[in-house]
A and B are shown apart, each in its own frame.
Chain A
Amino acid sequence: MEKELWKGNEAIAEAAIRAGCDCFFGYPITPQSEVPEYMSAHLPKAGGVFLQSESEVAAINMVYGAAGAGMRAMTSSSSPGISLKQEGITYIAGAELPCVIVNCMRGGPGLGTIQPGQGDYYQATRGGGNGDYRTLVLSPSNVQEAVDFVQEAFDIADQYRNPVMVVMDGLIGQMMEPIEWHPVPKRDLPPKDWATTGRKDRDHNNIINSLYMDPNECDRHNEHLAEKYALMEKNEVRWEEKECEDAEVIITAYGTPARIALTALETLRAEGLKVGLFRPITLWPFPEAALRKLSKADHVKAFVDVEMSSTGQMIDDVRLSVEGRKPIRYLGHAGGVMPTVEEMVDAVKAALKEGK
């Protein structure tokens, strides 16, 4: 298959169109603005609807309306804009609507920086809006994965009637890389017989709603959601292990830091040090069992968690998986400063000393 050089943000927009995205509602924000720009030029030609909304709040609610009416709906933004969308996301999760949300992350808090960041991990994996809900979170670490995941995200969303987020740091949105437009796995999807498409001959009205006034009814609704989330945890967990079989130190990282870690691995292995990489691909559901298994292996002495975050956020999930069995070091920067190969090498060597 022929390779084509694509910029991450434009590639995910094209991927969405190829996945049958019916409508896109968005608002400009760096570093994701190429997504709405590309959509404005190409989605209407493919028969879809593009609209630049007055705000991120409006955009996510347009997604709610269109998704509720049975459409494949999408929005994208970057960190501060995703914060604004949280209201809509919890309603979408509560009303069980499928949609795809892309977060091309920048540094925070507040306006932070327009440079790449990973400070929205909590927001993506812990909900971000109110209530007990989860979004399935896919995290690509290259443009090919971004393209593949966006296409799959529509099917996953439709299968579970749940929002799916594709979360990547700004660098993956901004960088260019060769990709192939290979077919992605398709799923058998249930009909959207719940959608508000107009009653016509149906014997009942379809209602899209997240309101349950009766506490018992709301409790049952939450139980139903929890069962759905358990099903996702059972069926949708994805991760990648590189050279973990004999590793004494395992780097945990996702997105761009995971790529940088690959270069660090090469350097360290050349020095004869046994180092591996554990890369969660679904941030939620987190690949807890796989990481726990590694933490129990005798050859594993320590972990080094690397994130584009000052305090570390994914490290909480790493800790919950490792359960105190092995020491975990943290290496991270925020504000668009990337952890370097050299820093990773030093952190691994320090971890090795500590773990022995």
Chain B
Amino acid sequence: MAIVYEKSRGLTDEELHYCPGCHHGIIHKLVAESLVELGLLDDAIGVCPVGCSVFAYKYFNCDMQEAAHGRAPAVATGIKRTHPHQAVFTYQGDGDLASIGAAEIVHAAMRGEKFTTIFVNNAIYGMTGGQMAPTTLIGQKATTCQTGRTKEQAGMPIRMAELLSTLEGCVYAERVCVTDIANINKAKKAIKKAFQKQMNGEGFTFIEVLSTCPTNWGMTPLKAVEWLKDNMVPYYPLGVIKETAPETAEVK
């Protein structure tokens, strides 16, 4: 019988620990498939964060480093600068990247570090139990803003893809989501393009993936998908935020 679908070789056989309805599994698959399809997997070095995807080193079928909270871009810098011809990526959540690791991601982008960052934004701290993230929306409830985030108390949510796009070193930033087949396909295309641009030596590449957290949002997985579309997408617009043409991005 012909095989029409199989699990990517880019993932190990380890059972994922993610909650039902969480999008991490889909995003893992897309990264893994992209590495395999581009022929980068066997040479790739990934860096995982502290947060829900802390165990990603068990799932990606390549060499991996587990970084301290927020420091994945610095760790990846150390790897990529000494291994310039290998694919290097960080996989980070919103607390890790946009809060405690804000300085590391901004400066990696400023320097135009030639690695790819997969930023999973689900607008909440998952692993520690649903606390407010820098990307939590106004009015959204979290365990550290129980009546909903207010602008007065916590400021407005941060748009990382747009912020990093202001930096010359960031050559490609796209925001995607994985709520349906069409968006999953777009996300895959974006991730592959980011890795291609990395391997072309163009500069820093950044894919922000909007994701659900049914557990901490207190919703069913389907309801969470609807909530993402209705609430997150209007504030965090999908699409290419920045793409520098390769020729002008060539920095020697």
Contact = CB atoms under 8 A, between A and B. Distances in A.
Interface of A: 22-23, 25, 49, 51, 53-55, 57-59, 61-69, 71, 73, 87-88, 91, 95, 196-200, 205-211
Query: Chain B: interface residue count, which band?
Result: 20 to 34
B74 A199 contact: no
A25 B26 CA distance: 36
Interface string B39-79: 00111110100000010011011111111100100111111
B103 A54 contact: yes
A196 B74 contact: no
Nearest to A205: B63
Interface of B: 12, 41-45, 47, 54, 57-58, 60-68, 71, 74-79, 81-83, 86, 103-104, 106-107
Contacts of B67: 61, 64-65, 91
Contacts of A196: 45, 63-65, 79
Given A58-B103, A61-B104, A205-B12, A23 B68 contact: no
Contacts of B45: 69, 196-198
A73 B79 CA distance: 11
B231 to A, nearest CB: 33
Contacts of A67: 78
Nearest to A97: B65
Nearest to B110: A54
A208 B57 CA distance: 9
A264 B147 CA distance: 69
B74 A62 contact: yes
Contacts of B60: 205
A16 to B, nearest CB: 15
B74 to A, nearest CB: 4
Contacts of A55: 103
Contact of B83 (A25, A63, A69, A91): A69
Contacts of B42: 198-200
A59 B82 CA distance: 14
6 contacts: A53-B77, A59-B74, A61-B71, A69-B79, A71-B78, A199-B42
Nearest to B67: A61
A211 B54 contact: yes
A61 B78 contact: yes
Contacts of A69: 45, 65, 78-79, 82-83
Contacts of B68: 61, 64, 87-88, 91
A255 B97 CA distance: 41
A199 B74 CA distance: 22
Nearest to B48: A209
A61 B105 CA distance: 13
Given A55-B103, A211-B54, A199 B63 contact: yes
A198 B83 contact: yes
A22 B82 contact: yes
A73 B103 CA distance: 22
Given A65-B47, A197-B83, A207 B66 contact: yes
Contacts of A23: 78, 81-82
A65 B79 contact: yes
Contacts of B76: 65
